Amino acid sequence: MSASLWDSCLSRLETELSELQLNTWIRPLQAYQTDARLCIMAPNRFVLDMVQNNYYPRIQELVASLSDFDELEVELVIGTGAEPTLSPSAASLAQDSPAAAINSSSTHIAVETPHSLGFAPAHSQVASTVTGHDSRLNPLFTFDSLIEGKSNQLGRAAAMQIGSNPGNAYNPFLIYGGSGLGKTHLMQSIGHSIMAQQPDAKVLYLNSERYVAEMVSAIQHSKMNEFKRFYRNLDALLIDDIQFFAGKEQSQEEFFHTFNA
């Protein structure tokens, strides 16, 4: 019965929303119904927040109009099975989602996965904080210069929240998408936004291949303690081409410890 009600809601939403909205926010949802409640489960906190802020009122309207019950409570929670998980700490990332977030350490980490644009221009200017720390950011890649479209409007909104509330909103933040959609631009815009609000913040942008190369060099020269101290003292770490970590267990482990430090 729950599947039938939710399927009916989904059919109505399919006539009202774009394919991007449906695939990103609505179709990942699952429904579980008792006599007095329809529990709609989101796979992670990021999806839950977006659905609650943008689609929840309409879903409630549809449930009220399509349900055989006079009063059916509609609850939105995090969960992936027949029994929902109420704790927001269980947030996780679906592999095909464009972005996701988990709040954890004070360091904010934004990463990109396949189809990224690669290294920042080798001879471009780079931005630095007032402390003299080289952020390696391209000064042209800011929110003001980012052209907003259907392909990036959700990612841009989430990225701007991160820039306004680093270390808390969507941490870590994963950007996924096709080539040429401005993922590198979006990620570096976060760094510029953080530095604009906190001039003494230690922000660093680099390609994952460079991160691995620096770690290998640190191992070869017995400087792993310095390497760990440098990366774990950053306020925001922005890593491009995160898929380069695949198959590199030591790099993955060190990156994990950096995030959880």
Looking at the structure, do residues 133 and 234 belong to the same domain, yes or no? yes
Looking at the structure, do residues 155 and 198 belong to the same domain, yes or no? yes
**Tens digits of per-residue pLDDT, 111-145?**
554 333 232 333 334 444 444 568 999 999 999 99
The CATH number of the domain holding residue 29 is 3.30.300.180
Looking at the structure, do residues 177 and 253 belong to the same domain, yes or no? yes
> Of 82, 100, 130, which closes a domain?
82
Query: The domain containing residue 77 runs over which residues?
Result: 2-82
* Tokens 């394919």 -> residue: 19
What pLDDT sits at residue 99?
A: 32
How many structural domains is the chain composed of?
Answer: 2
Residue type, 257: H
CB atoms within 10 A of CB 188: 28
* Residue 4, C-beta contacts closer than 8 angstroms, at least 6 positions apart: none
> Of 43, 66, 82, which closes a domain?
82
In percent, how much of the chain has pLDDT > 90? 18
CB 66 within 8 A of CB 8: yes
The CATH number of the domain holding residue 115 is 3.40.50.300
Residue 9 has pLDDT above 80, yes or no: yes
Looking at the structure, do residues 48 and 135 belong to the same domain, yes or no? no
Looking at the structure, do residues 128 and 241 belong to the same domain, yes or no? yes
What pLDDT sits at residue 196?
A: 93
**Tens digits of per-residue pLDDT, 57-77?**
999 899 888 877 667 788 888
> Of 82, 117, 140, which closes a domain?
82
CA distance 82 to 33: 9
Residue 217 has pLDDT above 50, yes or no: yes
Q: What's the mean pLDDT in 231-260?
A: 83
CA distance 44 to 85: 10
**Tens digits of per-residue pLDDT, 148-194?**
887 888 888 889 988 888 877 777 888 887 777 888 999 999 999 99
| Residue 103 counted as domain residue | no
What pLDDT sits at residue 109?
A: 54
Looking at the structure, do residues 146 and 202 belong to the same domain, yes or no? yes
**Angle (deg, nearest 10), helices 45-54 and 56-66:** 70
